[in-house]
Each structure stands twice: as structure tokens, then as C-alpha cells.
Amino acid sequence: MIPLLLIFLFTACADPVSQPVDGSAHGSQKEQSDDRNDGEGSGADGSDDGEEGDGDSGDGDSDGGDTDGDSGDDNEGAPAQPAFQQRDVILNEVMIRQQETVSDPDFQSYSGWIELHNRENNPVDVSGWVVGFRRASNSTAVEYSVQDLQYHLLPEGTTISPRGYLLLWASGQQHAGEAIHLPFVLPLEGGKIGLYGPETAEMPIVDTLAYRAADVAYDISLGRMDFGWGHRGFLIPMNNPTPGEANRLTPLTLIESHSLNVSDPSGLAVDHTGRYFWTISDDPGGSIYKIDLQGNIVDELPVGGDDMEGITQHPRNRSLFVAEERLRQIVQFDTLGNEIARYQVDVEVRRQNDGLEGITIDPTTEHIFVVNEKNPRVLLELDVLRGFDRQEIRRTYMDLGAPEDARGFDLSGLFYDETDEVLWLVSDEARAVFVLDRTGRPLAAFDAGQPDLEGVALIRSEDRIYLVSDELQTLFVYEYPQPLIRLPATE
Ligand SMILES: [Ca+2]
Ligand SMILES: [Ca+2]
Ligand SMILES: [Ca+2]
């Protein structure tokens, strides 16, 4: 048994481009579809590893078009093995480094840990399943070194209860006590964790999870959030780790709310003075509104929009840019409401009402970011102001492999925070806000707890986050969460 396993794992590691290594591990339909869903590719299959260079903490990687590396190789000639029944068990959360979150029951030490989650309504016997780890041999987690390969077989009699959780302690201890210990620790420089079914020639991959050095911070875990769509979901840094429990987002603290006398307010932007907001009505023929921080209208620009869903203001030239959802256009106005220019945005039109929902500007580069709500979920960075032709800087698909029409996560509003050079994204369906880097990689996420949120803006000098709800016609005011993201650990 063991030598077979070693051959498999070593081969997979040693030759990151060879196709047939674990091709048979993709035998089942489920595994194939999961690979496609998974931004980080299929575990030991090196052909996906290149994705991780820009990839970040795994599923946050937005390569929705990930061509799962399985090339349909069937491992012909291998001895017949009883087919492995794929089980819906995932690597749900991982903590690389901690000082105070939770100690193990055997040594009372604060080692790293891995949380498995059984998403089935039946118990799953994971006896003899393999937990493997491959260390990243460089900071981008692209290559793995054979010497650093680690693995462990889960002990006999290990079962995860229906919808239950199992913690594995990456303590480096060879020990069979009250808890399950792995004889390796999770290195700070990053790598990939793999969960495999029982050791057979097929060595079925159940799940993988990759992290980078940049993801490692004391007492911050990486947890999967699926927003109810049944997919393995986003991998999000979690300020409030949940060892042994369901992953959940940290709630934002609501301070106050103001009703808005605007029909279906659908976007929010900070005025160049920092003392007012701009919002728009998505009604046909709708206006742009300037409102104060309590939501009172101080000006109305009757621009006669088609279906305006997002707005932003250039802080220096003061132009207003509006996202027209159905038209897939960015429309530039002056502050009197005169149209200056109109840019067509190149996104697929599958459903007219699944179009542009959010827009914001990075004042330094003057790049405009827009999001397409869904079908597909896209984050675009555009250079429409400089040069004669609009230029696409970056396009990030954020479908994460979920069905395009899956409910639970859509892209509804966008705000560029100049202080930290990050994007804030609000999702109506998730009732949540996300902090993203400009490549769409999640850095943090928070539960906003309100429905139909379509606009987000921050006033950092006041430590406030403002969200507008379309249906509720309300401006919600939240505390800016401190600390937002703990800094990566340093030696
Ligand atoms: Ca958890
Ligand atoms: Ca709307
Ligand atoms: Ca829409």
C-alpha cells in the first residue's frame, strides 16, 4: 500500500507537466466538475499549478475559465480497482499560524490546523484517506519540491458526522491521542493541501486548497464561503476563524440608517469634496442625485438615464461616470448633467438585466473599474480617459465555476478605496461586502445583513462605510471594521 502511494505522490510532484500522472483521479463526473469550479485546479495535477502564480489563496482566484487539467486520460492498463465513491467532503478552512485561536487537546499547543467538512446528510468514513501537503518552492506557489512532500493517512475509525466538521492538527506530532495530528506543519511560504480518498491506484482527489505566503497572518484563517449555491466557494481570509463550525462572515456594525427620497437608488459615490454622495435612480428616465451624508437630496440632475445602476466621480476633473446596465455603457457627465462621452463596454450580453451594476475610479491611474452583475460575473479595469480608444487593462471572471445563474453571489456595487488601494464590492444576493485587490482576489469579507444593497462608498476620515439599498430606499451607515486585515506575519 504505502509504496504505491509514494510512487503516486512523488510522481505527481516531480513532473508538474505530465498529464497522465493522476488523470485517473478525475474519473468521476463529480471530480471533473469540481475541478472546473476550483480556481486552484486539481491537487496533484501539475498542469493547473500555473494558475496559482496569479492565483492567491485558491478559489478566490477568478479564473472561471479554468481548463481543468484533466485531459481525459484513462490510465488504461492499471489494475482494476473498486470505484471510489466520491464524497462531498471539502477542505473547508485552514489556519497556518496562530497564537491564540484554539489549542489542540493533546499538547495544548497553538499549531496550524485544517478543517474538513462533510457536506452530505450521511456520515462519511474517512479512514485511510490521505491528507497530503506540497510545499511551494517559491513564493508564488507555482512549483513544488519533491523533498518537501508530506502526507498522512487518517486513522481507522475516523468518521465525519452528517454536515459535520473534523479538525486535523498540523502539529508535526506523531501521535494518536484524542485529536488527529499530522506529522507535518504548514509552512509559512505557502503550498498546497490535498485531500485524497483511500490509497488506490486511482488515488482519487477529493479536494485541494492552495495558499501563499501573503495569505499567512497570525490567527487569520482561510475559509470557504459558498453563499448557499452548493459550490465549494470563495476562499476568504477570515478575521473570526470558526474551527469545528460553519464558516461565517464577520458582521459589520450598523450605526444608523436614513431613508432616501430616491426611487430605487442603485449606486453610491463620494463627492469630490468628501461631504456629499452621488446616487442614481435606475428608473427609465432616471436622474442623478447629490445627497448629503444623512441622505437628504441637495441637487438633482435630470439626465434621463435608461437603467443607471452605478456612479462614480473623478475627484479632480469632477466628471461623473454612470454605469448603464442594459446598454452596457459608461456615460460621462459634467456636474450640470451634460453628457460628455459614452463608452461601450465589451461584456457578453446573455440577459439584458444582468449587466453593469457597479463603477468606480482609481484617481491615481484614472482607471475605471466596472462590474457586470452575473452571466457572467466580471470585474473590468478600463482605461477610458487616456488615449483615444478605450483600453481594457484587466478582465477578471468571478464566476468561480458556479453555474452562471446560481443565486447567492452577484456583483452589485463598487468603490475604490484610495487609502489602501483596494476595491470594495457589495453583493446584493450575498448581503455582504468584499475587499478585493485590483485583480479581484478577496482580502476580506463582511456580512452587511441588509437586502438589495446596490451601492457602497467609504469615508475613511470618519471610519464609515455607507451602503444603499435599492428596494428599501435606505442609506445604511456602518463602522469601518478595525482592524480590517491583520498584516502578514513577519519573522
Ligand atoms: Ca469552520
Ligand atoms: Ca437597481
Ligand atoms: Ca441587474
Q: What is the reported pLDDT for 431?
A: 95
Domain annotation covers residue 484: no
Report, in angstroms and rounded to the nearest whole number, the Rg of the chain calculated over CA atoms: 24
H or E element in which residue 308 lies: strand 308-313
Residues of the chain with pLDDT > 90, as a percent, come to 61
The model carries a pTM of 0.80
Ligand nearest the Cα atom of residue 266: 2
H or E element in which residue 150 lies: strand 150-153
Q: 228 pLDDT band (50/70/90 cuts)?
A: confident
450 alpha carbon to ligand 3 midpoint, in Å? Answer: 17
348 alpha carbon to ligand 1 midpoint, in Å? Answer: 36
Domain identity same for 23 and 86: yes
- Cβ–Cβ under 8 Å, residues 467 and 412: no
Q: What is the reported pLDDT for 137?
A: 62
Domain identity same for 231 and 315: no
399 alpha carbon to ligand 1 midpoint, in Å? Answer: 23
- Cβ–Cβ under 8 Å, residues 377 and 354: no
Please write the tens of the pLDDT for every residue from 386-419. 765 658 999 999 876 666 677 888 999 999 999 9
Domain boundary among 226, 248, 270: 248
Q: What's the mean pLDDT in 471-478?
A: 97
Mark 389-403 as b/e (b = at least 16 C-beta within 10 Å): ebeeeeebbbbbbbe
The domain of 310 spans 254-479
Q: What is the reported pLDDT for 384?
A: 87
Domain identity same for 312 and 228: no
User: Hey, is 254 helix, strand or coil?
Assistant: strand
117 alpha carbon to ligand 1 midpoint, in Å? Answer: 8
160 alpha carbon to ligand 1 midpoint, in Å? Answer: 14
Nearest residue to 409 (alpha-carbon basis) of 280, 266, 201, 236: 236
72 alpha carbon to ligand 1 midpoint, in Å? Answer: 34
Quote the cell numbers at residue 378: 466580471
Which residue intervals of 214-256 are DSSP H helices?
none
CA distances from 401 to 44, 348, 406 (A): 19, 17, 10
What's the rounded Cα separation, in Å, for the pair 80 and 72? 18
Ligand nearest the Cα atom of residue 410: 3
Domain annotation covers residue 436: yes
Domain annotation covers residue 487: no
Domain annotation covers residue 486: no
Domain annotation covers residue 491: no
Q: Residue 178: pLDDT above 80?
A: yes
306 alpha carbon to ligand 3 midpoint, in Å? Answer: 13
Non-local (6+) Cβ contacts of 410 within 8 A are: 357, 373, 374, 377, 427, 428, 429, 430
91 alpha carbon to ligand 3 midpoint, in Å? Answer: 33
Ligand nearest the Cα atom of residue 101: 1
251 alpha carbon to ligand 1 midpoint, in Å? Answer: 16
Domain boundary among 222, 248, 274: 248
User: How many domains is the chain built from?
Assistant: 2
Domain identity same for 230 and 259: no
Domain annotation covers residue 79: yes
Domain identity same for 265 and 414: yes
Q: 21 pLDDT band (50/70/90 cuts)?
A: very low
Ligand nearest the Cα atom of residue 326: 3
91 alpha carbon to ligand 1 midpoint, in Å? Answer: 10
Domain boundary among 221, 248, 275: 248
